[in-house]
C-alpha cells in the first residue's frame, strides 16, 4: 500500500511539473525521486506478498505471474504515455491525475488482501 501511495504521489508530482511555471526542473527531479522510492518499495514487498499468498507447490507459478504483471505494465505504459502526450496539453496533464486515481483501486485490493491474511493468521 505504501508503494501504491508513492506511485500516486509521483504521478501527481509529474502532473505538477507540467502545470507549474516555478522551478519545473526541481519538481521533475522530486517526482522522479518519489517514483524511484515507489519502485524500490514495491519490488521486494511484492515478492514477499506473493510468497505469503501462494501455496508452496504453486509458488513458482505465482511469482512468474507477478513478474508478468510488471512486464505487461512496462509494455503498455510507453505507448499509452506516448498516446497521451500526442493529445492536447490539458488532456496530457489530466492523464497523470487519472493514473494517480487508478491507484485507489490497487490500494483497495491490497487492503482486502491484508484483511484476508490477518483472518487466516487468526484462524491458524
pLDDT tens per residue, range 27-81: 999 999 999 999 898 888 888 888 888 888 988 898 888 888 878 888 998 898 8
Residue at grid coordinates 514487498: 45
- Nearest alpha carbon to residue 95 among 21, 31, 22, 15: 15
Closest to 2 (Cα-Cα) out of 32, 33, 28, 40: 40
Closest CA to 81 of 61, 96, 70, 102: 96
Stated pTM of the model: 0.78
CA angle 9, 52, 48 (to 5 degrees): 45
Amino acid at each position: 500500500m505504501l508503494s501504491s501511495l508513492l506511485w500516486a504521489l509521483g504521478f501527481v508530482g509529474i502532473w505538477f511539473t507540467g502545470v507549474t511555471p516555478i522551478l519545473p526542473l526541481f519538481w521533475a527531479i522530486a517526482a522522479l525521486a518519489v517514483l524511484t522510492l515507489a519502485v524500490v518499495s514495491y519490488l521486494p514487498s511484492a515478492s514477499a506478498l506473493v510468497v505469503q499468498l501462494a501455496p508452496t507447490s504453486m509458488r513458482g507459478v505465482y511469482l512468474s505471474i507477478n513478474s508478468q504483471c510488471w512486464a505487461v505494465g512496462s509494455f503498455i505504459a510507453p505507448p499509452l504515455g506516448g498516446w497521451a502526450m500526442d493529445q492536447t496539453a490539458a488532456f496530457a496533464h489530466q492523464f497523470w491525475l487519472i493514473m494517480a486515481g487508478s491507484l485507489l483501486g490497487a490500494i483497495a485490493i491490497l487492503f482486502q488482501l491484508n484483511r484476508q491474511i490477518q483472518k487466516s493468521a487468526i484462524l491458524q
